[in-house]
Amino acid sequence: MIAAVVMDLDGTLIESDELGADDPRQVRVVDGAEAMVRALAGYVPVAVATTAPARYVAALTDLLPELFEQVSSIVVGDPVEGSMSAELLEISLESLGMAPGNVVALLNSVDGLMEARALGMRAMALPDPRRPLPWQLAAAGIPISPTPHHAAVSLLRAFRTEGVIPLRWKLIRQLLPV
């Protein structure tokens, strides 16, 4: 049963261009990200795992409290070749106190998604529109959600199917206004 969600920060929840990557004031919240976090966190813990520097993430939590107020933990780690590492995902699992099979990794990098799968986590891709994911993800059976809204609806459906929430479709539509 799905008991938690771990998601990436840049490209999944926020967009930072290359010029403003070091300045948290230059980021923009991905459309629908706040609603997605709020809807999912209403049923399961949501963690953020990122390779961004800790002081950058701390500044973001101050600048964007509405995005992070529903997040149960934030795990920060050094990038391994610029992508999500298995160690960072393992620490996220520890912070949640969950077994890998009970956690969905909602990420935007092929390496991160494959690491999550290798750990036994469920994986769902939420691609950064600036960096499309290769078709191999779909061939590997990893579902791809084009938007945070789509990801949230897909996960809420999975929660309902697995008995995490007794939710009807009408209520899902109310939770995530289009």
DSSP letter at 133? P
Please provide the average confidence, as pLDDT, over all residues in the chain: 85
CA angle (118, 124, 127) in 5-degree steps: 115
- Nearest-angstrom CA–CA distance, 78 and 2: 27
Rounded Cα distance, 107 and 144, in Å: 10
Range scoring the smallest mean pLDDT among 41-45, 55-59, 127-131: 127-131
Q: Say if residue 167's pLDDT is above 70.
A: no
Domain 4-174 has CATH 3.40.50.1000: yes
More confident residue, 71 or 55: 71
Mean pLDDT for the stretch of residues 61-71 = 94
Q: Which of 135-139, 148-152, 170-174 has the weakest average pLDDT?
A: 170-174
177 against 146, higher pLDDT = 146
Q: Domains of the chain: which residue ranges?
A: 4-174
Residue 18's pLDDT band (cuts 50, 70, 90): low
One-character DSSP codes across 25-70: GG-EEPTTHHHHHHHHHTTS-EEEEE-S-HHHHHHHHHH-HHHHTT
Percent of the chain with pLDDT over 70: 85
Is pLDDT of 46 > 50? yes
Task: Enter the pTM of the model.
Answer: 0.86
| Residues 6 or more apart in contact with residue 165 via CB below 8 angstroms | 43, 156, 159
